[in-house]
Amino acid sequence: MSHTTPWRNFHVTVTLAYMLRASDDDLSELLSDRETGHSVSPAEAKALATELQARGFTYLPVCDNAGADGRCQGHDIEA
């Protein structure tokens, strides 16, 4: 008997530690607001990283299927 595992897509993310130590230049276009499309400022990005770390995340959660650490847990691809 064989077991078939479905293909899965995973969102790419960054660590919150990187966001907190990165230069303003590196952060200046890393994130954008989903609603407006405008870049998130380095200060806003670092504030978000600090808030998410306080909530127990290690990674920036970028989708609705993030695990306890913030990483994407994958999304099944329909064949």
Query: Is residue 7 one of the residues assigned to a domain?
Result: no
Query: Is residue 8 one of the residues assigned to a domain?
Result: no
Of 1, 17, 12, nearest to 53 by C-alpha is 17
| Number of structural domains in the chain | 1
**pLDDT for the residue numbered 10:** 92
Per-residue pLDDT of the chain (79 residues; tens, 9 = 90+): 445 556 889 999 999 999 999 999 999 888 988 899 899 999 999 999 999 999 999 999 999 999 999 999 999 887 6
46-to-20, 31, 40, 57 alpha-carbon distances in Å? 5, 11, 10, 14
**pLDDT for the residue numbered 66:** 95
**pLDDT for the residue numbered 79:** 64
Query: Is residue 58 one of the residues assigned to a domain?
Result: yes
Query: Is residue 62 one of the residues assigned to a domain?
Result: yes
Query: Is residue 5 one of the residues assigned to a domain?
Result: no
- Which domain, by its residues, includes 28? 15-72
Query: Is residue 43 one of the residues assigned to a domain?
Result: yes
